Structure 1
Amino acid sequence: MTTIMSSALGFASNRRRRAILALLVVEALSLAVISALHLSGVIHGGTRPYNPEAAGIAEAVIGVVLIAGAVAVLSSPKHGRAAAQAATGFAIAGFIVGLTFTIIGGQPVDVAYHAIVLPLLILTLVLSLPKPRDLGVGRDQGPVSKSQ
Structure 2
Amino acid sequence: NPGDKILGMDLSHGGHLTHGAKVSSSGKMYESCFYGVELDGRIDYEKVREIAKKEKPKLIVCGASAYARVIDFAKFREIADEIGAYLFADIAHIAGLVVAGEHPSPFPHAHVVSSTTHKTLRGPRGGIIMTNDEELAKKINSAIFPGI
Q: TM-score, normalised by structure 1?
A: 0.25
| Higher helix content, 1 or 2 | 1
Max Rg structure = 1
Larger relative contact order (CA 8 Å, sep ≥ 6): 1
